[in-house]
Amino acid sequence: MKKFLVSMALGATIIGLSACNGNDAETPVENADPDAPAGISVENARLILPPVSGNPAAAYFDITNNGEKTMVIRAVSVAGAESAAMHQVSSWEGKESMDDIFQLNVPIGETVKFTPGERHVMVMGLADNAKAGDEIEVTLTFAGGDKISFPAEIHAAGDDREADE
């Protein structure tokens, strides 16, 4: 019986230590929104200021869904802005247009990118005190009410390079 109890204690210790190896999938990502839906992460977030004050700014980011269900973005907001809307640039019969995106699927296991010249968040009525080098909070609201908020680095007009370059 004594050998059995020692074996059980040793086994519990090994299991306990293996859970502390730092590779646990539930380990929070640095600066992650603790209220974000499970498996949703955002990287490469940036907001490009408009070349003319008072015109709309544009926000870009990459959103990844490593969760267990497709997530649907229904709304976006930017701190200090009057409004924000998702847009998609498309072409039809050789003419480009910018169309509203009323909802956007983020499928399981995929990354959806908001990039210059394609999909973006148009930010209207941005606060006058927003300046290059600062950060601004962006919030995405999903169908069902889940939200994720994340900081976006503010870039000067014309600086549409990706944040991780």
Domains of the chain, first to last: 33-155 (2.60.40.1890)
For 132-148, what is the mean pLDDT?
A: 97
Is the confidence at residue 107, as pLDDT, over 70?
yes
**pLDDT tens, residue by residue, 48-59:** 999 998 999 999
Is the confidence at residue 1, as pLDDT, over 60?
no
In whole angstroms, give the CA distance from residue 21 to residue 101. Answer: 42
Is residue 148 within 8 Å of 42, Cβ to Cβ?
yes
In whole angstroms, give the CA distance from residue 147 to residue 36. Answer: 6
Residues 6+ apart with CB under 8 A from 150: 31, 33, 42, 45, 61, 137, 138
Is the confidence at residue 2, as pLDDT, over 60?
no
User: What DSSP designation does 160 have?
Assistant: -
Is the confidence at residue 90, as pLDDT, over 60?
yes
Is the confidence at residue 6, as pLDDT, over 90?
no
Residues 6+ apart with CB under 8 A from 87: 98, 99, 100, 101, 119, 120, 121, 122
Is the confidence at residue 147, as pLDDT, over 50?
yes
158 or 162, higher pLDDT: 158
**pLDDT cut 70: percent of the chain above it:** 77
**pLDDT tens, residue by residue, 12-46:** 333 333 333 333 433 333 346 777 899 999 999 99
Q: Which of 91, 101, 144, 105 is nearest to 121 (CA)?
A: 101
When pLDDT is cut at 50, 70 and 90, the band that residue 161 belongs to is low
Give residue 65's pLDDT.
97
Q: Coil, strand, or helix at residue 46?
A: strand
Give residue 32's pLDDT.
60
Is the confidence at residue 101, as pLDDT, over 70?
yes
In whole angstroms, give the CA distance from residue 3 to residue 157. Answer: 71
In whole angstroms, give the CA distance from residue 98 to residue 76. Answer: 17
Mean pLDDT of the chain: 83
